[in-house]
Structure formats: C-alpha cells, structure tokens
Structure 1
Amino acid sequence: MTGTLLRPAATAAASIPPERRPRKTSPRIGSHAFLMLLLIGFLAPVAWAIVSSFKQPNDIIRDPLGFDVTTFTLDNFTAMFQDVPIAHGFLNTAIVLVVKGGITLFFAPLAAFAFAKYDFVGKNLIFGTVLVTLMLPTIVLIIPLLLEMKTLGWVNTYQALILPGAIDAFAIFWMRQVISAVPDELLDAARVDGCSEFGIFWRVIVPVIRPGLAGLAVLTIMNIYNDFVWPVIVASSEQMATLQVVLSTLAQNITGNRIGADYATVTGELLAASSIALIPLLVLFIVLQRHFINGILAGSVKG
C-alpha cells in the first residue's frame, strides 16, 4: 500500500518539466571563487616581482604596474651575477640541503619507528621531552648553540650549518604518526621470515611510509632552503654564506661593488635575484605536489 501511495507522487515529480524544477545551488561555486581570490592575492606579488625583474631599472620605479614587451631586458640578471656572489650562495645552500636533509630523512623515521613500534622503559617520558622542544622558540636556543659551536671551533663551518637541528622534533613526531598506522602483522611476518629489526625498518616500513616521507622531504627542503636566522649568525663570512644570507646583504654588495648605484639599480637586481631564488622551490613543489598532498594526509593519521 505504501508503494501504491508513493508511486503517484514520484510520477508527478517526474512529469514536471526540467526548466520548472527548482535548481539546487552548489556551495562549491562560492568556495571556488573564494579560493581563486586567495590564489590571486598570493600570486600577484610573486608575478609582479618576476615580471619587473625583466624591466629597465628606471621603469620599475617610474611605472611599477606597467610592462612594455619592447623594453624586455636581461640587464638586471647580468649585473646581479657580476655584483653578487649568488652562485656561491647556491652552492653552500645545496651542500647544506643535501647533507642535512639526508640526516633528517634517515634518522627521524628511524627514531619514530622506535617510538611507534617498540615498548621500552621511559618511552612516553622521552617522547614527551621531544614534543616539549617544539614549544621552545628558536631565538631561545641561538645563544647556547652559538656558544657550543664556538667551543667546538665550528663557527663559519659546514658542521655548524648542518648538525644543529638536523634531527627535528617535528619530523620525529610526524613520522611516528605515519608509522603508527602500519599494521603490526607486517612486522611480525618479517620477523618470522628471519628479517632483522633494521631490515624490517628498511624493507617493510620505508616502502609503506613513502608518501609521508615524501611530504616530510618537501617540508624539510623548504625549511633548510629558507633558513636565515641561524646561518646569518653562525656563518657570517662571505665564503660560508648561504643563499638567504647573500640575498639579505644584496643591496650592500651592489652599492659596494658599483660606484654610483642608485635605488632603481638596486631594486632591479634585487628582483632578479629573488626571481632566481624562487625557481628551485617552485620546481620542487610542482614536481612533488601529489606526493606532498599524500604525505600531509598520511601524517594526519591518528596514532
């Protein structure tokens, strides 16, 4: 009887012409519009800096928002490479990035594996202490670390740029969350097959947590690449300056190497250097975008 009563209503609804049916407003239109506005707001300064780096220095000051294709020039880039040791800054940053990033991506998951899959005395206390270090501001640790580097004789060396903060507390916490989601049955099966504990980590854990490891790699590279406070303090010499330190002293280097360099010249070369410094991170994020998003989702698993 219920089906008999409902059938006429369904038939009546189906008989309404499509143009007279009420249209459902999708909430995605508003959210997409809002996201587009955010995208424009974030990308507009970057796009302006890149476009302006190809303009004549005087045109940057005279007409900041305009761009004439006929005035396209590479003079800012050519002069910047002559006045600023940006290539040496790139080299120092690359060395620190490879070594420090490698230490982080190897030892942080290894420590997280111990916290996630083993029970030992003081486990919660040690892990709690690791989490407490996340609450300490970086400025609080600078003076003790600098005194330690001075005692060891590591000031203005790669050791001082690489070792402090190489095994990050956040990296251990994130990888613990990822590894906690790995089923214990996989580990038990590997032990039955005679695999060692390190073999379990390398052959079982690492392949499974690859998305989370890729996300951690992107964040680690970005943090090391953009780090400024610690390198400018512990590596003050021009020979050990990283890219961010070179960019911070760019205006001084330009005015010191070129007599009569005006504000427009400094601005043009600064925009050129900033555009070049942006390229590695931009390429990295475009290439690893899918892995980064998957890693973020993997790191959100509750352990």
Structure 2
Amino acid sequence: MTSQTKTTGMTSRTKRTGRSLSQPRPGPLQYLVLGLLALVFVYPIWWAVSSSLKPPADIVRDPLSFSLGSATLDNYRAMFDDVPIGTGFVNTVLVVAVKGAMTMFFCPLAGYAFAKYRFPGKNLLFGVLMLTLMLPTLVLVIPLLLEMSQLGWVNTYQALILPGSIDAFSIFWMRQTIAAVPDELLDAGRVDGASEFGIFARIVVPVIRPGIAALGVLTAMNIYNDFVWPVVAVNDESHQTLQVVLSTLAQNVTGNRVGADFATVWGELLAAGSIAMLPVLALFVLLQRHFINGILAGSVKG
C-alpha cells in the first residue's frame, strides 16, 4: 500500500469521525476534571433557584436541603408584590438594546479607521484612547453626573444610554480584530468600485463576525450588570434598571411589609436573583460558540 493510499484512508476516516488528527480524544481523567468543574460552577445556580422555591423558614433552618414536596412559588408572588421588578426589566432591556446597538455600530467603525486608515495624529489619538482604559470608573462618575445635570438629563434614559455607549475597550477590541484582515481584500473591493463603507459592510464585517459576536456578548452582559452609573444617574423609580431595583429589594420588603423577618427577605432576594440571572444564562448558552470563537480568533496565526 502506497503512502498516498494510506493518507487517503486516514483522511476518509477523519471525515467519518468528524475529528482532526491534531485533536486527541479526551481521556477519563479529563472528563472527570471537567465534570467536577461543571459541578462547582453549576451548584451555586442550582442552590439559588432551589432555595427560591422553598418556604422562607426552610431557607434559614436547612439551607442545603431541597424537597419537591415543599416547593412553593410564594417567594415569587411576594417579590412581585413588593418590588417593581417588571419596570426594572423593561428599563434594562431598553438600555441594553439601544446602548448595545450604538456600541455595535460605532465601535467597529472606529476600530476599522484605526486599523486600516492613515491620518494625522492617529497614533496620538489611539494612545489617548488607551489611557482612558486605565481610569477607574469611579473617577468619571462625578464629572459625568455634573455633565448630565448641566444638560438636564438626570433621571432620563439619555443619562443611562449615552455615557459609555462608545467605549475605549470596544474600539480597541475591534481595532485588534480588524487589523488581522488582509489589506489585499480591501484593495480588491476598491478595484471593483465598492465604496469605503461598502468595503466595511460587505468584506470586513463577514470576516470579523466571530469578534463582533464576542463583543456583542460582552457588551450585553456589561450593560445588563452595570450598577454604579445607573444608581448615580437615576433616582426615579420609573427609570431604575434591574440591578438598582435588586439593590433596594431588602429595603422595599421590610418597608412594605410590617414584621418581615430575615427569612422572608432572603426568600424574595433569591427569587429576584433567580429571575435576574436567567437572561444572562440564556444569552451565553445561545451564543457561547460565537463567543469562544471570537475570543480565540486572534490567538492562532493563519
């Protein structure tokens, strides 16, 4: 049997199995380690959800046990009565959608300009942009709040959406991702008569799709979990985001219900936390493949 025949046979077997020869099959020890790690990460989520279904007294008396026979939705009913979590969800979805759309539109364009164009002061401007990444968020809170006050935007959606919608990290991420796109592809588009925006939309965006997907997941999670700026910029209950509503849950429970004990507060806290983490978990599960591909896109040289 010739070497060519052996190679052909190995290639056909690889296609049938769907695995590359450079990817060895995980052994039992690796499966065991992965299973233990999965258990460590999943157990807190399971405990929070199962505890939210227990009577408040059982949460304090025996926090580690769970019985389907004692499962109840009383914590959820009480939580919806005591806390405006629906309003917080609506406000959060609005902020994530609008602010995320602005980030996903403008930051790739800015990254494209830094990666593929030459203009005066480019390196200086990019260096200043990188310096802003070193500034803690708390340093910018007071100047931004004063700016929002001068514009009359305190307790408005503009204050929640516009600050930070075009951030330095997203521009840097897109710049590094787009820099790996060959210049020959762009030159070919120009030869065919495509406009500069057409080159970006039809050539660059399909190539960097994994990086854009990863940025989308990171952006959505950061906006969804943001607490510092919303709690400063908004004190009106009708504009509060979900994280701000959750932070005041204990005060609302004890204030709305006379004689509310420690167990009751914990039950409603766990119920609200279980609902709040569902969108993030669903987002990551649905987009985890694109997220991982985007993270690893620049780690291997083609």
What TM-score bracket applies, with the shorter chain setting the length? 0.7 to 0.9
Equivalent residue for 1:142?
Answer: 141
For normalisation by structure 2, the TM-score amounts to 0.88
Equivalent residue for 1:162?
Answer: 161
Structure 1 residue 158 displacement after superposition: 0.6
Task: Rate the CA distance shift 1:299–1:100 in 2: closer, same or farther, 3 A.
Answer: farther
Structure 1 residue 136 displacement after superposition: 0.6
Letter of the structure 2 residue corresponding to residue 205 of structure 1: V
Equivalent residue for 2:104?
Answer: 105
Structure 1 residue 33 displacement after superposition: 4.3
Does the residue aligned with 1:89 lie in a helix, a strand or coil?
Answer: helix
Does the residue aligned with 2:297 lie in a helix, a strand or coil?
Answer: helix
User: Which of 1 and 2 has greater Rg?
Assistant: 1
Structure 1 residue 239 displacement after superposition: 1.1
Structure 1 residue 32 displacement after superposition: 4.9
Task: Quote the Cα distance in structure 2 between the aligned partners of 1:50 and 1:139.
Answer: 33
Task: Quote the Cα distance in structure 1 between the aligned partners of 2:157 and 2:231.
Answer: 13
Q: Which runs of 5+ in 2 are unaligned?
A: 1-24
Residue deviations 1:254-290, cap 9 Å, x none? 1122222111111111100000001101110110010
Task: Rate the CA distance shift 1:301–1:216 in 2: closer, same or farther, 3 A.
Answer: farther
Task: Rate the CA distance shift 1:93–1:300 in 2: closer, same or farther, 3 A.
Answer: farther
Task: Quote the Cα distance in structure 2 between the aligned partners of 1:28 and 1:119.
Answer: 51
Q: In terms of mean alpha carbon deviation, does 43-52 or 274-283 score higher? A: 43-52
Report matched runs for 1:64-75 at 5 Å: 64-75=63-74
Equivalent residue for 1:45?
Answer: 44
Structure 1 residue 40 displacement after superposition: 2.7
CA RMSD of aligned residues (A): 1.6
Letter of the structure 2 residue corresponding to residue 233 of structure 1: V
Task: Quote the Cα distance in structure 1 between the aligned partners of 2:228 and 2:298.
Answer: 27
Equivalent residue for 1:119?
Answer: 118
Equivalent residue for 2:193?
Answer: 194
Task: Rate the CA distance shift 1:72–1:292 in 2: closer, same or farther, 3 A.
Answer: same
Task: Quote the Cα distance in structure 1 between the aligned partners of 2:63 and 2:279.
Answer: 26
Confirm or deny: 8 A CA contact 1:175 1:299 kept in the other structure.
no
Does the residue aligned with 2:119 lie in a helix, a strand or coil?
Answer: coil
Residue deviations 1:210-235, cap 9 Å, x none? 11100000000000000000000011
Equivalent residue for 2:175?
Answer: 176
Task: Rate the CA distance shift 1:299–1:146 in 2: closer, same or farther, 3 A.
Answer: farther
Count the aligned residue pairs: 277
Task: Rate the CA distance shift 1:153–1:299 in 2: closer, same or farther, 3 A.
Answer: farther
Letter of the structure 2 residue corresponding to residue 272 of structure 1: A
Report matched runs for 1:228-243 at 5 Å: 228-243=227-242
Confirm or deny: 8 A CA contact 1:177 1:301 kept in the other structure.
no
Q: In terms of mean alpha carbon deviation, does 255-264 or 129-138 score higher? A: 255-264
Letter of the structure 1 residue corresponding to residue 162 of structure 2: L
Task: Rate the CA distance shift 1:265–1:177 in 2: closer, same or farther, 3 A.
Answer: same
Equivalent residue for 1:280?
Answer: 279
* Identical pairs, percent: 69
Task: Quote the Cα distance in structure 1 between the aligned partners of 2:227 and 2:277.
Answer: 15
Confirm or deny: 8 A CA contact 1:177 1:300 kept in the other structure.
no
Structure 1 residue 43 displacement after superposition: 2.4
Letter of the structure 1 residue corresponding to residue 263 of structure 2: A
Task: Quote the Cα distance in structure 1 between the aligned partners of 2:39 and 2:264.
Answer: 28
Residue deviations 1:129-163, cap 9 Å, x none? 11111111111111111111111111111111111
Task: Quote the Cα distance in structure 1 between the aligned partners of 2:227 and 2:285.
Answer: 24
Q: Which runs of 5+ in 1 are unaligned?
A: 1-25
Equivalent residue for 2:152?
Answer: 153
Structure 1 residue 74 displacement after superposition: 0.7
Task: Quote the Cα distance in structure 2 between the aligned partners of 1:153 and 1:300.
Answer: 45
Equivalent residue for 1:84?
Answer: 83
Confirm or deny: 8 A CA contact 1:174 1:299 kept in the other structure.
no
Equivalent residue for 2:184?
Answer: 185
For normalisation by structure 1, the TM-score amounts to 0.88
Confirm or deny: 8 A CA contact 1:100 1:162 kept in the other structure.
yes
Q: In terms of mean alpha carbon deviation, does 244-253 or 200-209 score higher? A: 200-209
Task: Quote the Cα distance in structure 2 between the aligned partners of 1:76 and 1:131.
Answer: 46
Letter of the structure 1 residue corresponding to residue 44 of structure 2: P
Structure 1 residue 36 displacement after superposition: 3.8
Does the residue aligned with 1:195 lie in a helix, a strand or coil?
Answer: coil
Letter of the structure 1 residue corresponding to residue 176 of structure 2: Q
Residue deviations 1:237-261, cap 9 Å, x none? 1111100000000011111222221
